[in-house]
Amino acid sequence: MPRDLSPTRLPPEMQAVTDRAARAIRAHADACEAAQDVTPEAAAALRASGYTRLTLPWEAGGLGASLEQFAAAQLALGEADAALGLVLAMHGHVVGSAFQSQHLQGRTLPEALLAALARASVEGKLVNSLASEPELGSPSRGGLPRTTAVPEGDGWRVTGRKTWSTGARALSFALVTAAAPEGEVVRVLVPLDAPGVTVEPTWTGALALRGSGSHDVIFQEVAVPGDHVAPPAPGHPASSAWFWTAIAATYLGVGFAALHALAAYARERVPTALGAPIATLPRVQENVGRIATELRAARALLLEATRTWDAAPNADAVPGLAAAKAYATNAAVSATDLAVRTAGGAALTPALPLERLLRDARAGLTHPPADEVSYTSLGAQVLGVEARR
């Protein structure tokens, strides 16, 4: 069976770092799943792949990937393993959106903060944005964070707790949302090796993404330089565009992994009563066809939406990206479910990767935007009216 590769071709250097990252992920995914964390060895391999430079602009020392190219790369990493693929996805979206929003909106982030992001990416250090909190839930629903940033001398002190911190122990920096004394929300670039930063292992026993190490990170009076704090500024749609693409592509890769695993099993499985591979059964062929069709449709929609953004990166392109995220994550859930149904009891055992893929795919539904928000925004755009929440 021919591989179902993304139709988007990456330039050689981008393809090379993507291939290295995918190999590193495959080599360490099982160990991270067993450890229920990103192992030090896995973190080192991700850093050494060079993938951290993918979405950093050329002028800052990176590879300058467009949103479409980022999507194509993350499809490959999601197929290799969702948990570790998501660690790199988070880094890619933080760096890509930070520099693109600066370019499109004008300077809203301190020069030193951007320089630190660029330096970290070139050096292979991992970054993530930490916004969710126990009381706040997802910041996409609004609300003021309990985490605080208080001015002190020439710098700031950060105190609080962040949840769902993907790759927590593997990160070098976190872009932390916090409430300033006036009630405004600021973003603070915090080095995670600073005194006062601890990781609490709250992700053990999670249903999905066990190898992602998405633990809580606690900040206790952590000192941060003043020029590593971004003041309140109007949001730019680049933040949503890069984050939703990271999510959509990574989880869609999980769906393709299920398709390929099912196809391999169907060609190899020869029941005694049948005397031939189950791939010869019409029902199996139909199910594989259904899965392939839905995944390819989701991929086409995602790549079209990212191309639209790259051609004109503005708010008009956002509803299409939101819908692509919803469609892609649901396609991954549908694909893994039907793959398990088709393979039968063997799919529930570690002999096949399908049970892990089934669990991991479901995590895609928890990331914003929610399905109703995604489809409402696109529907309102098509109707030429304002979306109602």
Q: Is residue 195 within 8 Å of residue 150, measured between CB atoms?
A: no
What burial class does residue 204 get, using C-beta atoms within 10 Å of its C-beta: 0-12 exposed, 13-18 middle, 19+ buried? exposed
Is 237-383 the same fold as 12-125? no
CATH homologous superfamily, domain 12-125: Acyl-CoA dehydrogenase/oxidase, N-terminal domain (1.10.540.10)
Residue 133 gets which letter from DSSP?
B
The three-state secondary structure class of 150 is: strand
Element (H, E) at 21: helix 12-35
Element (H, E) at 155: strand 155-165
pLDDT, tens digit, 9 for 90 and up, residues 195-226: 999 999 999 999 999 999 999 999 999 999 99
- Domain ranges in the chain are 12-125, 129-230, 237-383
Does residue 1 carry a pLDDT above 50?
no
Looking at residue 13, its pLDDT comes to 97
CA angle 337, 274, 334 (to 5 degrees): 10
Looking at residue 236, its pLDDT comes to 82
Q: Report residue 378's pLDDT band, with 50, 70 and 90 as the boundaries.
A: very high
* 237-383 fold: Butyryl-CoA Dehydrogenase, subunit A; domain 3 (1.20.140)
pLDDT, tens digit, 9 for 90 and up, residues 44-78: 999 999 999 999 999 999 999 999 999 999 999 99
Averaged pLDDT, 316-324: 97
Looking at residue 231, its pLDDT comes to 82
Amino acid identity of residue 358, one-letter, is L
Length of the chain: 389
> Long-range contact list for 140-147, CB < 8 A, 24+ apart?
140/368, 140/369, 141/368, 144/179, 144/183, 144/185, 145/177, 145/178, 145/179, 145/185, 146/179, 147/176, 147/177, 147/178, 147/179, 147/219
Q: Is residue 82 within 8 Å of residue 328, measured between CB atoms?
A: no
Q: Report residue 388's pLDDT band, with 50, 70 and 90 as the boundaries.
A: confident
Looking at residue 90, its pLDDT comes to 98
Backbone angles phi, psi at 209, to 5 degrees: 55, 40
Q: Count CA atoms closer than 13 A to 250's CA, side-chain side.
A: 28
Q: How many CB atoms lie within 10 A of CB 18?
A: 26
Q: Report residue 136's pLDDT band, with 50, 70 and 90 as the boundaries.
A: confident
CA–CA separation, 302 and 125 (whole Å):
28
Does residue 240 carry a pLDDT above 60?
yes
- Token pair, residue 123, equals 């050096």
CATH 3.20.20.70 fits 129-230, yes or no: no
Does residue 330 carry a pLDDT above 50?
yes
Residue percentage of the chain with pLDDT more than 70: 96
pLDDT, tens digit, 9 for 90 and up, residues 4-29: 657 889 999 999 999 999 999 999 99
Sole residue written with tokens 């992700």: 203
Q: How many CB atoms lie within 10 A of CB 12?
A: 7
Q: Is residue 77 within 8 Å of residue 87, measured between CB atoms?
A: no
CA–CA separation, 8 and 98 (whole Å):
24
pLDDT, tens digit, 9 for 90 and up, residues 347-368: 999 999 999 999 999 999 999 9
Looking at residue 38, its pLDDT comes to 98
Looking at residue 262, its pLDDT comes to 98
Sole residue written with tokens 């601890």: 198
Looking at residue 178, its pLDDT comes to 96
CA–CA separation, 389 and 377 (whole Å):
9
CA–CA separation, 235 and 63 (whole Å):
25
Looking at residue 389, its pLDDT comes to 67
Does residue 107 carry a pLDDT above 80?
no
